Amino acid sequence: MSKKDNITKGKITGIIANLVIVEADGPVQQNEICYIVQQDSKLMSEVIKVLGTTAYIQAFESTRGLKVGDQVEFAGHMLEVNLGPGILSRNYDGLQNDLDRMEGIFLKRGAQTDALDHEKKWTFKPLAQQGDKVIGGDWLGEVTENWLPHKIMVPFKFKGKYTVKSVAGEGDYTIDDTIAVVTDEDGREIELTMVQQWPVKVPIKNYQEKPRPFKMLETGIRTIDTLNPIGEGGTGFIPGPFGSGKTVLQHALSKQAEADMIIMAACGERANEVVEIFTEFPELEDPRTGRKLMERTTIIANTSNMPVAAREASVYTAMTIAEYYRAMGLKILLLADSTSRWAQALREMSNRMEELPGPDAYPMDLTAIISNFYSRAGYVYLNNGKSGSITFIGTVSPAGGNLKEPVTEATKKAARCFYALSQDRADSKRYPAVDPIDSYSKYLEYPELEKYLKENIDENWPAHVQLMKDALLRGREASEQINILGDDGVPVDYHITFWKSEIIDFVILQQDAFDAIDAQSSLERQKYMLEKVIEIYHTGFSFEHFEEVNEFFKRLIDTLRQMNYSEFKSDQFHQYEKELEQIIEERKG
Amino acid sequence: METQAFQKIYTKIDQITKATITLHATGVGNEEIALVNDRLAQVVKIIGDEVTLQVFAGTEGIPTNSEVIFFGRSANLKVGEELSGRFFNAYGEPIDGGPEVEGEEVEIGGPTVNPVRRLQPSEFIPTGIAGIDLNNALVTGQKIPFFADPDQPYNQVMSMVALRAKADKIILGGMGLTNDDYLYYKNVFDNAGALDRIISFVNTTEDPSVERLLVPDMCLSAAEHFAVDKNQKVLVLLTDMTLYADALSIVSNRMDQIPSKDSMPGSLYSDLAKIYEKAVQFPEGGSITIVAVTTLSGGDITHAIPDNTGYITEGQLFLRNDTDVSKVIVDPFRSLSRLKQLVIGKKTREDHPQVMNAAIRLFADASNAKTKLENGFDLTDYDERALEFAKDYSKKLLAIDVNIEVDEMLDTAWGLFDKHFKRSEVSVKKELVDKYWPNSSE
């Protein structure tokens, strides 16, 4: 911060694709940001290796036309984001440039736009008082962003204790106006605005403690909530071959999940998928609040054709924004699609640096990088006793659909929930294609989460869920037997076992992400339907012939699905429920 | 490409490898192009005053005292209406004997469209091929490849798409085309009299393989000209992207890069995405749609090339030989157009989605019946009818030589339903059945 007077400068001495070699005339820090000066623009780059006075930098943009001898200016800090009111509902690129403010249809090289609006006035309400002792991350005041109480905090970078000398009174201010003055331990006065900067690669740790996740995050998606729930502040990942519905599932999560804020990092994926969000989210309603989805969403779009190096930065930018909002005591869901593209960006760079490669030419420290990143999620108690959380779910695009590849394996070590998408399920249109048997949630093993489920859903809930998983497994075994021995070659009971598991599959696991009602299933509704299914599971039926079994259960499934498509507890819903009971009566015994 | 005044000329090459040369030069920009002994080359690496150039045509016969002329700019293309109807090589030079094209010079491999400026694709592009239009409708701004085995007639299908697709401009990028296939395209286009809207950039197997790396960029720069400046609907056909990727791996290998899966460069995903993501719907009405061919080896879609492609493109199309009717069909099971939902039933007739699903479901029933038959089980009456339906369906709709309008496809499908099934067996919404079921029976 104090280096303004003597910035380090440098000259380009070499260029290999987006790796640029620079001879620097002063001190350089690892991961420092620097700018390559061109006639009409400055290209942002990051130092990734230093040898003596030679800095190796990766350019975040195309290096076409750069020449040996071109000037480079070092910024004196690492890649930072601007944190302040106005981030919500924005569409940023991986370096937090506001995409909507860029001119023209094409992204101009070197174009930079402000992440925040400097003109807009926010209505500020003070929360701190003169004389308060504060530390980094403490709340000084509050503005309302869309609908969200956005806390203005003592900058996270502040070390040690500070005393509030004055706080601005209630009123309208821009983000650059001084809203508080604090004094440090030596009595120096520091003026604070609503904006602060933070380096994206460093976790924000201004909280008291990070307990294990003990609550569940409601996602509205049955195969997750009912079968393998994710803890609030937990981590999960969704690997799947192309065409298995990763992105549809992530979009469903972003629409249905119960969170204060959703941050979506579209990292190296199709631009048309992001366009879909741009088009739909301002229209679609949040089922819980009735507000438009875009009002609680921030998008970091670094699509596959945008510069590779910025792709790596994009996930960190997204995580840092999430940490900023978590420090306000909010519940954040962070989605990244896809983390494999980020890993590939690391690989491209490692390759150009001529580092010794690890498996599949990925850098050796891939596992460490991935687990470090996942560890930034979590449920935290802030210094003022309030709590906030970041739940992180990333997708992985395994090469060739092979789950033994390095990115999947490294992620498996870091993430606690595993939602494996299966090609077979996708082929037979059983969506979401999450494999119920391969997938897991480690949080189910946490006694604190079990307690939460028992208290908040039902005493018997964990037992029911376990029963259902067993039934699915038994159903799969029965189906294998039937396939081997033929329909006639097994007792009718096998068919009943198989079809009972099909009920679970069709009614609980499968969910229509494109149906207005079925797409979102509240916990209350999930509990209701699970109990229905369990009731059927415990009912004994009698049949003469296997063909009767198929027909009977198909009718059961059809009626149960009609219930799924009906408004919960509506007349129509109860109508189907009555029908269901009549069908059950036919074969009871 | 003539030399001009003030261009830097060097005459001493220090190092020559199979694909690259290195010399001492100053003031050279990255990715700048140059002529090395009259062959086009591009700067790929600069370390101090040591400049490494990739010579597209290979370095055979290049002496150390060759003339190296730097152009002071990166590769470009002259664009304009004059491009229409012409055939060019990978450098954008005419190969049809016609005159040089005059026009505005644009850099190839230009910048990316800002994602917030894109529009959601929403316009249907009919091709006349029912296996595509009916089951896997293409949408403007979409990118989709054919995954085909080398023995399948994908070039015929591509040429049909080129001739029939309702687009303002069709741009063909041929990479590693055999001379026979090149002549085939040329003949087909000539005979159809459709040349005025077709532009071709062709690299044949007779040309050096590395040259083909320029072909997609040439095609897409031309496409951007028509789509952005003229607001036209442009369809870009790229065949064969597997050969393009092979050329990438050759270059990366010669640059001593560490290969990743299947000896492909680690940047394969980004390299392919840079091309395919040029597909876009612009807000002013212009659009670029890409239909590509990716040849498979032994049908293996887990190979790095089809695998990475699948993650980038919006679906894929498979061809299959249907031996029951001896025709090549567009496989309804494995093919998928991810964007079709945006247009079917909206830009096409209301019954399109339901008819499509019903027909595929009945086709699947037929395939189950076939398995039953092969395993020696008895067939039910329904099975028999499903099998008959499948033959008709293949012949009259899925076969690639069918060329009809979408409404006719739908009517044909209803006709087949009527011929082989009862209304209740088709399970289509009642109001649609009432409206469209032919009046002949029931």
pLDDT in tens, B243-253: 999 999 988 88
As a whole number of angstroms, the distance between CA A453 and CA A462 comes to 7
A483 touches chain B (CB under 8 A): no
Gap from B315 CA to chain A (nearest CA, Å): 8
Question: Quick one: closest CA in A to B308, which residue?
Answer: A399
A122-199 is a CATH 2.40.50.100 domain: yes
Task: Please check the confidence at residue A222 and state whether its pLDDT lies above 80.
Answer: yes
Does A41 lie at the interface with B, CB-CB under 8 angstroms? no
Q: Which residues of B touch A306 (CB under 8 A)?
A: 112
Q: Which two tokens stand for residue B9?
A: 């000329």
pLDDT band at A1 (very low <50, low <70, confident <90, very high): very low
Residues in B closer than 8 angstroms to A361, CB to CB, are 258-260, 266
B112 contacts in chain A (CB < 8 Å): 106-107, 303, 305-306
Residues in chain A closer than 8 A to B257 (CB atoms): 351
pLDDT tens by residue, B134-155 = 999 999 999 999 999 999 999 9
CATH of domain A222-442: 3.40.50.300
Measured at the CA of B343, the angle between CA A280 and CA A433, to 5 degrees, comes to 65
Largest CA distance in chain B: 87
pLDDT at residue number B6: 61
Say whether pLDDT at A580 is over 60: yes
pLDDT tens column, A54-68: 999 999 999 999 999
The distance of A349 to chain B (nearest Cα, Å) reads 10
Q: Return the exposure string of A358-369: e unless at least 16 CB atoms fall within 10 Å of the residue's CB, then b.
A: bebbbbeebbeb
Which tops the pLDDT comparison, B259 or B49?
Answer: B49
Interval A138-145 mean pLDDT: 96
pTM beyond 0.95: no
> Which residues of chain B are within 8 Å of residue A407 when distances are taken between CB atoms?
none
Q: Which of A270, A403, A404, A429 to mutate to test the interface with B (most CBs of B within 10 A)?
A: A270
Q: What is the pLDDT of residues A252-276, one digit of tens each?
A: 999 999 999 999 999 998 999 999 9
Q: Nearest chain A Cα to B49, which residue? A: A68
What is the distance between the alpha carbons of residues B433 and B427, in angstroms, rounded to a whole number?
9
Residues of B in contact with A270 (CB under 8 A): 277, 312, 314
Contact (CB, 8 A) for A181 and A102: no
CB < 8 Å to B318, chain A: none
* Selected residue of A12, A57, A64, A344 to mutate for chain B interface (largest B Cβ count, 10 A): A64
CA-nearest residue to A302 within chain B is B115
User: Measured between alpha carbons, how far is A268 from B277 in angstroms, rounded to an integer?
Assistant: 11
Residue B193 clears pLDDT 80, i.e. is over it: no
Residues 270-299 in A contacting B (C-alpha not used; CB under 8 Å): 270-272, 274-276, 278-279
Question: In chain A, where are the structural domains located?
Answer: 6-78, 122-199, 222-442, 461-587
What burial letters (b/e) apply to A512-534, b meaning 16+ CB within 10 Å?
Answer: ebeeebbbbbbbebbbbbbebbb
Q: What confidence score (pLDDT) does residue B426 get?
A: 85
Mutate to test the interface with A, among B33, B116, B334, B338 (most CBs of A within 10 A): B116
CB contact under 8 A, A397 and B46: no
* pLDDT band of A5, cuts 50, 70, 90: low
Domains of chain B from N-terminus onward: 9-70 (2.40.30.20), 76-338 (3.40.50.12240), 352-436 (no CATH)
Q: For the residues A425-440, what does the mean pLDDT come to?
A: 90
Task: Please write the tens of the pLDDT for every residue from A278-298.
Answer: 999 999 888 778 899 999 999
On chain B, the residues whose CB falls within 8 A of the CB of A99 are 114-116
In angstroms, what separates the C-alpha of A379 from chain B's closest C-alpha? Answer: 33
Chain A positions in Cβ-Cβ contact with residue B49 (cut-off 8 Å):
68
Interface contact B282-A105, CB threshold 8 A: yes
The shortest CB-CB distance from B115 to any of A17, A104, A275 is to A275
Cβ contact (<8 Å) for A400 and B307?
A: yes
**CA A60 to each of CA A95, A325, B207: distance values in angstroms, whole numbers, following the listed order:** 9, 26, 35
The reply to whether A90 touches chain B by the CB within 8 Å rule is no
C-beta of residue B54 within 8 angstroms of C-beta of residue B74: no
Strand runs labelled E in B314-385: 315-322, 327-330, 336-337
- Read off the tokens for A407: 């990115």
Please say if the pLDDT value at position A347 is more than 70: yes
Mean pLDDT of A394-401: 90
Q: Minimal Cα distance from B71: which residue of A?
A: A65
Compare all CA atoms of chain A with the CA of B267 and give the residue at the minimum distance. Answer: A348
Query: Is residue A42 within 8 angstroms of chain B, CB to CB?
Result: no
Tens of pLDDT, residue by residue over A165-194, are 999 999 999 999 999 999 999 999 999 999
Dihedrals φ, ψ of B404, to 5°? -140, 170
* Residues A303, B115: C-beta atoms closer than 8 Å: yes
Question: Hey, is the C-beta of A303 within 8 angstroms of any chain B C-beta?
Answer: yes
Q: What is the pLDDT of residue B304?
A: 92
Q: Which of A468, A470, A589 is nearest to A539 (CA)?
A: A589
| pLDDT of res. A3 | 44
Inter-chain contact A348–B282, Cβ cutoff 8 Å? no
Query: Does B115 have pLDDT greater than 50?
Result: yes
Please indicate whether, in this complex, the C-beta atoms of A68 and B336 are within 8 angstroms of each other.
no
Give CA–CA dist A388/A380, Å, rounded: 5
Residue closest to A389 by CA, chosen among A332, A446, A439, A311: A332
Indicate if the pLDDT at residue A578 is higher than 70: yes
Chain mean pLDDT for chain A? 93
Residues of A within 8 A of B302 (CB-CB) are 399-402
Which residue in the set B111, B282, B311 is minimally distant from A397, CB to CB?
Answer: B311
What is the predicted ipTM?
Answer: 0.89
CA nearest B315: which of B158, B135, B67?
B135
Q: Do the chains contact at A348 and B270, CB–CB below 8 Å? A: yes
Q: Is the pLDDT of residue A375 over 60?
A: yes
- Averaged pLDDT for residues B103-110: 91
Give the class (CATH, top level) of A6-78.
Answer: mainly beta
Domain A461-587 in this protein, CATH class: mainly alpha
Q: Is the pLDDT of residue B372 over 90?
A: no
What pLDDT score was predicted for residue B352? 94
Residue A116 at interface with chain B, using a CB cutoff of 8 Å: no
For residues A301 and A126, give the distance between their C-alpha atoms in angstroms, rounded to a whole number. 34
pLDDT in tens, B227-277: 999 999 999 999 999 999 999 998 888 877 888 888 899 889 999 999 999
- C-alpha A256/C-alpha A244 separation (Å) is 20
Report chain B's mean pLDDT, rounded to a whole number.
Answer: 91
Q: Which residue has the tokens 């005393």?
A: A163
User: Could you give phi then psi for residue B395, rounded to 5 degrees?
Assistant: -70, -45
Beta-carbon separation of B115 and A278 below 8 A: yes
